A and B are shown apart, each in its own frame.
Chain A
Amino acid sequence: MTATSAARSGGTTSSTTAARTARKFLTRILFVLAMVVVGFFFALPLAWLVTAPFSKVPTLTVSWPDWTLENFRVLTENPYALTSIGNSLILGFGTIAVVVTTGSLAAYALSRVRIPGRDGLLYGLLLLSSVVTGTAAMVPLFQLMVATGLINTQTGVVLALSGGVLPTVIFILKDFMDSIPKSYEESARLYGAKPHQILRHVVVPIARPGLAFVAVWALVQVWGNFLLPFILLRSPESQPAAVIMYTFYTESGQADLSLISAFSLVFSIPVILLYFLVNRRYGFRFHGGIKS
């Protein structure tokens, strides 16, 4: 700032161009410097995730790795680590199964039949899904699960997660089905197909990209979700990776950094890969979801 004003005040006719070049150069340098700082800010915490899993004796400090895979062997020996990844998969695919089937049925009905109050319903559902977040509803959800005996079961977590993401799923799928031409269904109907047959043999194959998109989106939402499984699942055998990760660094007296570093990487990679893959293919629409 002082440099620019100095350059401006010194701008007599003879030195104007020189001053302007100097100023341009200076702002360019400042700009590059600022970008380096921003890049550094985002990279610094991530550096540990890339280096520590491959260090012989991982510490909390970032240091050049020895490229050993020893830590991943430690990971396979831990009784909870791989089970918890399995549990994350169960929760993820359970939620996908529930929301894709119920969501596509609902989205199809909303897309093809003008039910009275349809727009209001969609609007209300979207409003609800952003208002009733896991955080705001943790007490009644916990209470509901205790009352129904679903506490400490993965079914309970899948149902609670499904209820939370369904409105967005229906909204995305309805948008998608609106764009599918109706002529296929018309001809199928002319040949005497029943609605459920039309749905299964005509609509689902055409809508496959939309269904895949929603499935990946739901998986990303569930994979990292911490609060609901943290509250609703109490035994470590059934907890997903997000909760076990937290247990690893809080509940054991001396944190086992070999285990934590390798586990962090294994737990993060699937979702990072999926994300960049889908992001490239579908772009910004993917970011509508609510992270809590």
Chain B
Amino acid sequence: MATAHARSSGRRSRRRPDDVAGLGRTGAGTFLVPALALIGLFLIFPALWTIYLGMTDYRLTGLAAADPQFIGLENYRQVLADAEFWRSLRLTLIFVLGSGVLGQTLLGFCVAWSLRRLPRLAKGLIETLVLAAWVVPTSVGSFLWLALLDRHEGTLNWLLDTPGTAWLIEYPMASIIIFNIWVGTAFSMLLFSSALGAVPPSQLESSRMAGASTWQQLRDVVIPNIRGHILTNTLLITLWTFNTFTPYLLTAGGPNGASEILPVYIYRTAIPGGQLGVGAAISLLMLLINLVIALVYMRIGREKKT
């Protein structure tokens, strides 16, 4: 046992062994099995199965449900020729850029930056409000926005004195973008708050002594110091915003698909629409995009460690 240990990791051989409970590799394997089985069945298998499902004409009901046929890349041909798919992809891009990259990251940074100069009470109040918007269950949060934006009784129309404006129908994309900024800014705020706390005060001090304006301090001292955090934040937010289904609760993709981002498009095609095969084909495209973002993110994380 001890020799096997030493051979497997030469570096650790001089330290005392890790395996203090005497599990051994078999024991460790047994301990790992239940968790890995669950992950394998409900995480890895679905991902792999998407590849196969995407190449069949699987349907929820009817003949193709009982006996699905292998149709190769037909679904992909159909999807890529579908104008609705391209519109959905374009809307997703706008949504991710507008609400994730620009909205949440920028607002989160501004709030984090401003909070440092606020008195304790005001700071606590704003932090709590931003966090509360994030913590409230999404189906409650979306109803709060439905109430706010309601055409006849909404508080927004009352405040702006614009009775009868149907925000969700006239400006569906703007509505879900602003809604998503409201939901998600808390993460960026927290991440940047902790990042800003780690900027050496001496550097800020000396730049201020040299007469740098706030803008110059940000550009020359703060941004270079937190560049890693900005990158991390942007990638995570991109991944999450890309995968969020919540806008469905607000507009259900409508009116007429004007806010049908990719997750909603997949849902409508596959489940109410019954075209599971086509839905799986789009899902695979989505998984691949996720993979690219996650790989870039992990790679940066690794570089930071070494």
Query: What residues on A are CB-neighbors of B118 within 8 Å?
Result: 35
Is B290 an interface residue, CB under 8 A from the partner? yes
Asked whether, in the complex, the Cβ of A224 is within 8 Å of the Cβ of B138, the reply is: yes
The reply to whether B137 and A242 form a contact with Cβ atoms under 8 Å apart is yes
Asked if B28 and A226 make an inter-chain contact with CB atoms under 8 angstroms apart, the answer reads: no
Asked whether, in the complex, the Cβ of B144 is within 8 Å of the Cβ of A46, the reply is yes
B203 to chain A, nearest CB (A): 22
Partner of A136, one of B23, B41, B143, B283: B283
| A85 and B21 alpha carbons, distance in the complex (Å) | 42
A60 touches B279 (CB 8 A): no
Given A141-B42, A290-B239, output 18 extra A-B contacts at Cβ < 8 Å.
A39-B126, A42-B126, A44-B156, A60-B154, A101-B34, A112-B21, A115-B28, A136-B287, A138-B266, A138-B270, A162-B38, A162-B42, A224-B139, A227-B245, A242-B138, A284-B190, A291-B138, A291-B240
A38 touching B263 in the complex, CB below 8 Å, given contacts A140-B46, A246-B139, A264-B143? no
Check: B131 CB closer than 8 A to any chain A CB: yes
A48 x B34 contact (CB < 8 A) = no
| B245 CB contact (under 8 Å) in A35, A112, A135 | A135
Closest 8 CB pairs of A and B: A163-B42, A224-B137, A109-B31, A106-B35, A140-B46, A113-B28, A60-B153, A109-B28
Which B residues are within 8 Å of any A CB, using their own CB? 5, 8-9, 12, 16, 18-25, 27-29, 31-32, 34-36, 38-39, 41-47, 49-50, 53, 58, 107, 110-111, 114, 117-118, 122, 125-126, 128-133, 135-148, 150, 152-156, 158, 182, 184-185, 187, 190-191, 194, 239-240, 243-246, 249, 263, 266-267, 270-271, 276, 279-280, 283, 286-287, 290-291, 294-295, 297-298
CB contacts (< 8 Å) of B23 on chain A: these are: 109, 112-113, 195
Q: Which residues of B contact A62 (CB under 8 A)?
A: 155
Complex contacts, A130 vs chain B, CB 8 Å: 239, 290, 294, 297
**Is the Cβ of B19 less than 8 Å from the Cβ of A131?**
no
Inter-subunit contact A245/B137 (CB<8 Å) = yes
A186 at interface, CB cutoff 8 A: yes
A164 and B43 form a contact (CB under 8 A): yes
* B39 x A167 contact (CB < 8 A): yes
> CB distance B158 to A136 under 8 Å?
no
Inside 8 A of B145's CB, which chain A residues have their CB?
45
- DSSP class of B's interface residues: helix, strand, loop or mixed? helix
Nearest opposing residue in chain A for B34, CB measure: A102
Residues of A203-255 contacting chain B, CB below 8 A: 203, 220, 223-224, 226-227, 231, 241-243, 245-246, 249
Measured in the bound complex, the distance between the Cα atoms of B21 and A188 in whole Å is 8
One of B27, B155, B190 near A48 (C-beta < 8 A): B155
The yes or no answer to A25 lying at the interface (CB within 8 A) is no
Q: Specify which chain A residues have a CB less than 8 angstroms from the CB of B137 in the assembled complex.
A: 223-224, 226, 241-242, 245, 267-268, 271
Which residues of chain B come closer than 8 Å to A134, judged between CB atoms?
Answer: 243, 245
Residues of A within 8 A of B138 (CB): 224, 226, 242, 291
Interface string of A163-181 (1 = CB under 8 A from B): 1101100100000000000
- Chain B residues within an 8 Å CB radius of A3: none
Chain B residues near A125 (CB-CB < 8 A): 39
Question: Known interface pairs A163-B39, A182-B20, A224-B137. Does A144 touch B155 (Cβ–Cβ under 8 Å)?
Answer: no
A143 vs B139: C-alpha distance when bound (angstroms) = 25
Check if A159 is an interface residue, CB within 8 A of chain B. Answer: yes
Residues of chain A within 8 A of B291, CB atoms compared: 127, 131
Is A185 an interface position by the 8 A CB rule?
Answer: yes
A-B contact pairs, 21 of them (CB 8 A): A41-B182, A42-B182, A44-B155, A45-B148, A48-B147, A60-B150, A60-B154, A61-B154, A105-B32, A110-B28, A126-B298, A127-B295, A133-B243, A135-B266, A160-B42, A163-B39, A166-B39, A195-B27, A226-B246, A231-B267, A292-B245
Partner of B136, one of A49, A114, A128, A226: A49
- Chain A proximity of B160: nearest CB distance (Å): 12
Residues of A close to B39: CB separation below 8 A? 125, 128, 163, 166-167
Is A17 in the interface zone, CB < 8 Å from B? no
Do residues B139 and A114 form an inter-chain contact, with CB atoms below 8 A? no
Q: List chain B residues, Cβ under 8 A from A159.
A: 38, 41-42
Q: What is the CB-to-nearest-CB distance from B90 to chain A, in angstroms, rounded to a whole number?
A: 18
CB pair A231 B8 closer than 8 Å:
no
Query: Is B36 a contact of A43 with CB atoms below 8 Å?
Result: no
With a cutoff of 8 Å between Cβ atoms, the chain A residues found around residue B24 in the complex are: 113
A129 within 8 A of B: yes
For residue B262, give the distance in angstroms from its CB to the closest CB of chain A: 8
Q: Which of A52, A139, A199, A245 contacts B139 (CB 8 A)?
A: A245
Give the docked Cα–Cα distance between A31 and B245 (Å).
Answer: 35
**Closest Cβ of chain A: how far from B74's Cβ, in Å?**
16
Query: In the complex, what residue of chain B is closest to A242 when comparing beta carbons?
Result: B139
Interface set, chain A 74-130, CB cutoff 8 A to B:
98, 101-103, 105-106, 108-116, 123, 125-130
Contact between chains at B143 and A245 (CB < 8 Å): yes
Closest beta carbon of chain A to B257's beta carbon, Å: 18
Q: Which residues from chain B contact A167 at a C-beta distance below 8 Å?
A: 39, 43
User: How distant is the Cα of A108 from the Cα of B284 in the complex, in angstroms?
Assistant: 34
A118 → chain B closest CB, angstroms: 9
Question: Does A114 contact B5, Cβ atoms closer than 8 Å?
Answer: yes
For residue A272, CB closer than 8 A to chain B, the reply is yes
B44 touches A128 (CB 8 A): yes
Q: Which of B139, B154, B243, B286 has the most CB of A within 10 A?
A: B139
